[in-house]
Amino acid sequence: MARNRAVDLLVGEFDLNQRRKFDVKNADGKVVISLYFKPITRADRKKSQQLAGTDEALDLSTQMLCQMAELEDGSKAFAPADAPKLQRQLPESVLNELELFLFGIGEEASLEDAKND
């Protein structure tokens, strides 16, 4: 009788294609853009660390945002080179909200199947 390996049991239970949606709103409450996020893996975190070239938490989280944020059609919302511009020209409160949502902290997410209909 064949036994499933622990690693196969674990990875088979989690859908890495299921996305969460975050609506970025301006000061008037109007949705400016909707961003979508798949679950973060350890490999994603390591890649962001390499791209950021630092262990500094704020730089890493913004780099992770650039790496993970998608538009509705699944294309990347940002390029890695956008991180400094986001840090310089976006209000800290907006960047914090985005990054906290990305890491699943303090926000309930709406789930959306990543498949394009």
Please state whether the predicted TM-score (pTM) of the whole model is above 0.85: no
What pLDDT, on a 0 to 100 scale, did the predictor assign at position 1? 58
Tell me: the pLDDT tens digits for 49-101? Answer: 888 888 888 889 999 999 999 999 999 999 999 999 999 999 999 999 999 99
3 state SS for 21-55: EEEEECCCCCEEEEEEECCCCHHHHHHHHHHHCCC
Tell me: the pLDDT tens digits for 6-60? Answer: 888 888 888 888 999 999 999 999 999 999 999 999 998 888 888 888 888 888 9
DSSP 8-state assignment for residue 82 = G
